[in-house]
Amino acid sequence: MNLPEALRHIGSPRVLVVGDLILDRYTWGNAQRVSPEAPVLVLNQDHEESRLGGAASVACLLRGLDAEVALAGVLGDDGEASILLKLLEDAKVQPLCILSDPARPTTTKQRLLGRCGGRHPHQMLRVDRELSAPLDPEQQARLAAAVTRRLEQFQVLLISDYAKGVCTPRLLETAIRAARERNIPVLVDPARIADYARYRGASLLAPNRTEAGLATGRTIGTVDDALAAAETLRETCAARAVIVKLDRDGMVLVNAEGRQEHIPTTPREVHDVTGAGDMVLAMLGLTQAAGMPLAASIRLANVAAGIEVQRLGVAAVSRGEIQTELLRASVFSPKKLVTLDEMALLAESYRVAGRTIVLTNGCFDLLHVGHATYLEEASRLGDVLVVAVNSDRSVRELKGPDRPVIPEHDRAALLAALEVVDHVLVFDEDTPHQLLRRLRPDVLVKGGTYTAAEVVGREVVAGYGGRVCVTAQVESVSTTRILASVRHNRSGELDAI
């Protein structure tokens, strides 16, 4: 599956998030001296910020991914609740059912982050204010009724359980059963608890390494350990699939059809793991709501989480950033032979990176020194040289029924073997107009006796501000002359016989 294209076209799925709402508060400052009162660092505060956490974080991250999101949960009757509700309003998250409970504080995590010597800030201390007792039966009933009443409006249900009292067995049993009756997938990011009975019947469970180990009584050190734990949880919870998140080692997937797969991830410089799990749930929810294959969803979640851990605190990641990351990875891959669709995505990434794209096109039948010379000259006109090769059918249209001598895939492979060439694709049209419109190269190059005004496709390139160049010709060298010489020599040999 072409992941950048798939991500581009999944629209704006409708997602319902149920779980523990948390307010994350950050206090930044410089920590460059020790207190004279006690052996502790002194934080000279210079900045404060409040962000959405827990299930509210998942909802916010989904909005950053262009999903339509509604949220259900419980807050206290305090100032922190007012701040959290305002943040949800600013993020355009719909409050499907957010109850106020005066007997509970709004769960708040206060983080103190200190800088020293101008370096990256680090967490010094976290102060939590919370009540983890289960919701009372009346609140559970109200929340369950609101969720089941509106569930048909959504394409997926996400459960974000932080063990703060909202995700009770009664509530989850009601919500999961209602979703199953409506064929709505239920994705669960479980709490760090030993008993997963409350998640029974969910479509997908996505614990991390520690959570899966606690729930199965295993130590998860290897991929095989994670696969075994995932299978145990899948059977215990009657889930369609289980993912175990293995941080730097990616994720593993086990499903009801017996599939077991390890999906690795790219190593990252980690600034802060806060929000990585929420990002995984958000991306899985977005893509599963759109009907994407689960393995593809996991690959996208790996990329999104990788971007998230490079930031401080929970911060939204856009589809564009994920697409750019995917394209950047493909740009620096060794793949030279590409399709037009692949090249269009590569070209977009090259432009984002500020690289100049040079394109030339032709038959390249019987690759010779003239071709090599002009391709080398063309490569010096920019950063990336793309060679578009006429298909066998279009060569016959241009050159006659006896051409090409070399089939299109062999011609493309020979060109790809040249060091100066970055990418090669085969096109079937009689003119390069379509591929020029798709790729929008900065420079269009032709070799030979043309003038710039005679280059086919020049009007397309000029129309978007590109330029056309013609390279010098190597005298007395062309495919036609080489073929004529071969035929002449062969005819002489036959005459001699």
Sort strands 251-255 and 260-263 into parallel, antiparallel or unpaired: antiparallel
Active site residue 365: no
Q: Residue 81: which H helix or E strand, with range?
A: helix 79-91
Structure tokens, 177: 């059963």
Q: What's the N-to-C CA distance of the chain in angstroms?
A: 58
| Rounded Cα–Cα distance for residues 438 and 448 (Å) | 25
Q: What are residue 199's phi and psi, to 5 degrees?
A: -95, 5
What is the separation of C-alpha 409 from the centre of its chain, rounded to a whole number of angstroms? 31
Q: Which single residue is written with the structure tokens 């394109």? A: 359
Do the beta carbons of residue 75 and residue 81 sit within 8 Å? yes
Two tokens at 111? 């983080």
Question: In one letter, which amino acid is 30?
Answer: N
From residue 122, alpha-carbon distances to 31, 87, 111, 183, 354 in Å are 10, 24, 10, 44, 33
CA 30 to chain centre: 34
d(CA 339, CA 375) in angstroms, rounded, equals 20
Amino acid found at 300: L
Q: Which of 161, 249, 278, 392 is catalytic?
A: 278
Closest C-alpha among 21, 247, 35, 57 to residue 124: 35
Tokens of 151: 């569930």
Residue 193, token pair as written in the block: 């608890």
**Residue position matching structure tokens 């994670």:** 226
- What is the spatial distance between Cα 371 and Cα 390, in angstroms, rounded to a whole number? 15
What count of other Cβ atoms lies within 10 Å of the Cβ of residue 145?
12
If you search the block for the tokens 């856009």, which residue do you land on?
Answer: 318
SS3 189: strand
Active site residues: 278
